Structure 1
Amino acid sequence: MANTRYESGVYVVEGRSGSDEGPTVVVVAGQHGIEPAGWLTAMQLTALSIDVGKLVIIPFANPPAIIQGVYQTSDGNMNRHFPPEEAPTLDAAAAVWREIQRNDPDVVLDLHSSHGIYQSGVDNGVGQAVFPTAAGLETVVDATEWVNDELIAPSAFGSEYEFTIGTVQGNADQPLLTHKVGHDLDVPGYLVEVTRYGTTLPDRLTWQTAIAIKLLDEHGITVSV
């Protein structure tokens, strides 16, 4: 969306063996302007070196919300404008979806944070959960278990901060990006939610980056910084 208030960069990281070998992964972040862990994680991914495959990274999907420091703008919640089987209902959402389609991804990651913890009664939020599409169910188990064992368990955080697996994405009645990915593309997709409850931004950034890199690894993209 060049020359509009939604103008935003798209970063591409190609494998040393060429992008024709290995999977293509699209990473989206910054749909909400109060979730910096998402776009900071995405920007860290732009600095990775990979052997095969291609990363297409959209760190700042909603620049006006980020600039204003708000969850959503007068245009509404961007992540409610991706109805399955239909065209996105916001121009900026449509631009994100066009970029996803253009790259014909094998995997899609959507990075977010929440004010609470999923299914814990803490602030009615959805943090510390990864919501997979049906095609990503097997992979998400390994990724969440690895982060829990390697990062959460040795830390000062209690067991309520362990990542869980959320509801499967792909419902035709839910207009979230990952639901559209699961329904329309039928590829592995992951809505990654870290919690802002009782955490610092470095905590959230560490966990979200670890999950993203582990998911890439599970899908055949080995990375090095």
Structure 2
Amino acid sequence: MRRRTILAAGSALAGTVAAGFVSQPSGDHRLLTAAREPGDAGEANTNTERLLPGTVHETRLHEIDAPRDGPTAMVFGGIHGDERNGIAVAREITEWHPDAGTLVVVPETDRVAVENDEREGVDGNLNRHFPADREPVSELARGIWDAVETHDPDVVLDLHRSLGIYDFHRQYVGQAVFHSPDAHGDALADALDDDSVPWYLPFHRFTARETDLSGPLLFQKAARELEASTYLFETTEFLLDQPTRNEMTRLAAARVLELHGLLETGGDA
């Protein structure tokens, strides 16, 4: 029997498809969402540190080391402070137990923006502060990048939320997986479609888009300068309620860790 798997009924993914109505995926399919309990190899070692201590930006970084060697993955929530699904799920991930490697999580990357429930913090949009070929442009971005360089991740996952649908609402990019050239973007999008998108929401199927590494986003800089496999995950508020967005985000995180060998997951109940 596979260890460290928790299965959630597909009915947990509730999509609001009309005002005042909540619809649920049909059928009895179940979704693998997270690995939360220690496995046969024993307990993971955990450590928490403060980034940018003594400043307005001070925030927590959590490191979970599995008993077996493996890759290092970093997960970021709260780069935009009003994108609550990424923050909530990143907080949950601090209690996950990888089967192999090291899991590093920053749930509230821009803590001021998170506390104010606003997209931007005191220095503006943090996810535009990581330009190519020079150091990050704000104190917070430099502190975050120092932590990234210290942990030298093999995998980076940045969790976000949009307001619309990719290629449907011109200004929004929801239901999309942006990824570096060597990442498993198509496999992740396919898994999310199979496990989380009901048939009656065809516009909500996930799009995988390979990113241009010249941009100023954190996941682009990690791919460009550290040669990490990187992902920026976007779910949407459009016709989806908060529990649904959280569930899609949770599943995306678990799938990324599975695809890169940190989690052993399976469909057996």
Q: Which of 164, 172, 178 in structure 2 is aligned with 1:131?
A: 178
The aligned counterpart of 1:4 is 55
TM-score by length of 1: 0.91
2:180 alignment partner AA: T
* Match status 1:46 vs 2:94: yes
Amino acid at match of 1:216: L
2 CA distance for matches of 1:50 and 1:66? 27
Q: Which residue of 2 aligns with 1:184?
A: 225
Is contact 2:77–2:106 with CA below 8 Å preserved after alignment?
A: yes
State the alpha-carbon separation in 2 of the partners of residues 83 and 62 from structure 1.
18
Task: State the distance in 1 between where 2:95 and 2:193 align.
Answer: 25
Distance 1:103 1:73 in 2: 25
Matches within 5 A, 1:15-34: 15-17=66-68, 21-34=69-82
Q: TM-score, normalised by structure 2?
A: 0.76
Q: 1:145 aligns with which of 184, 190, 207?
A: 190
In 2, Cα distance between equivalents of 1:214 and 1:83: 28
- Three-state SS of the structure 1 residue aligned to 2:59 is coil
**Counterpart-to-counterpart distance in 2, 1:205 and 1:92:** 26
Indicate the RMSD between aligned Cα atoms, in angstroms.
1.4
**Structure 2, unpaired ranges of 5+:** 1-51
State the aligned residue count.
214
1:68 equivalent to 2:119? Answer no
Structure 1 or 2, whichever has the larger Rg, is 2
How far has the Cα of 1:3 moved from its partner? 1.2
Question: Contact 2:86–2:249 at 8 Å: present in 1 too?
Answer: yes
Report whether the alignment pairs 1:212 with 2:259: no
2:242 matched residue in structure 1: 201
**Matched-pair contact (CA < 8 Å) for 2:176–2:207:** yes
**What SS does the corresponding residue of 2:182 show, helix, strand or coil?**
helix
Q: CA deviation at 1:223?
A: 5.3
Structure 1 alignment gaps of length 5 or more: none
Whole-Å separation in 1 of the counterparts to 2:121 and 2:99: 39
Per-residue CA shift, 1:7-31, capped at 9, x if unaligned?
Answer: 10101111133xxx10000111101
Offset of residue 33 of structure 1: 1.3
More helix by share: 1
Deviation of 1:199 after TM superposition, in Å, equals 1.2
- Alpha-carbon distance in structure 2 between the residues aligned to 1:180 and 1:36: 24
